[in-house]
Chain A
Amino acid sequence: DTAVSQTPKYLVTQMGNDKSIKCEQNLGHDTMYWYKQDSKKFLKIMFSYNNKELIINETVPNRFSPKSPDKAHLNLHINSLELGDSAVYFCASSARAGRVLNEQYFGPGTRLTVT
């Protein structure tokens, strides 16, 4: 029974296109995240949502727009894709802040390739 799921797993698209990645968690967590992992494996927070409310927007270009329809879902829409957007995007979730925040559950990742 998958805890954090993402679709699609692979996404290959051309520059200038718009694409979305979906994420769902069935852990009953209040907080969800999007992380970006580049080709050097550097993991960087992009967005954090708590109970559908945006908490962190880590200087991400406004071409990236997260949407949380409910606390179990956090989707990521990307407009006007650029070559530099090629990366693996991970969705994650955790219980409330504090100690339990540090135990985050990651989805399998979406490998985005922009050509």
Chain B
Amino acid sequence: GQSLEQPSEVTAVEGAIVQINCTYQTSGFYGLSWYQQHDGGAPTFLSYNALDGLEETGRFSSFLSRSDSYGYLLLQELQMKDSASYFCARGHQAGTALIFGKGTTLSVSS
């Protein structure tokens, strides 16, 4: 299978650090992506890991461990505007689309 699992909800306060985990089935795996979606908005690309290790983009970092079939998105110095849904995604077996996890709703409070 090609499914991904991630927590449905995470809550945190402003200024905190939060980690959103994603586990996946290994069949035909080519890398892990992360997308952010605000309510009523479109998904927007955050990061992509093809190889093991950490990718950093400003306050956001993404990590992949292929041996553990696991990745995470790390959000630092949380701000209210980070309240959104976060999706991990992997390549479709046919190679030209994405399969998304069910999303994690992050709520940041003051």
Contact = CB atoms under 8 A, between A and B. Distances in A.
Contact of A45 (B41, B99, B102, B103): B99
A43 B33 contact: no
B100 A99 contact: no
A105 B35 CA distance: 10
A46 to B, nearest CB: 9
Interface in A95-115: 97, 99, 101-109
Contacts of B45: 102-105
Interface in A57-102: 58, 90, 97, 99, 101-102
A56 interface: yes
Nearest to B103: A41
Given A42-B103, A99-B48, A101-B91, A106 B43 contact: yes
Given A48-B96, A101-B95, A102-B98, A43 B87 contact: yes
A20 to B, nearest CB: 20
**For chain B, which range describes its interface: under 10, 10 to 19, 20 to 34, or 35 or more residues?**
20 to 34
A19 to B, nearest CB: 20
A43 B97 contact: no
Contacts of A105: 45
Contacts of B37: 41
A56 B98 CA distance: 11
B85 interface: yes
A104 to B, nearest CB: 6
B87 to A, nearest CB: 7
**B87, B95, B98 — most chain A CB neighbours (10 Å):** B98
A48 B48 CA distance: 20
Contacts of A41: 37, 85, 102-103
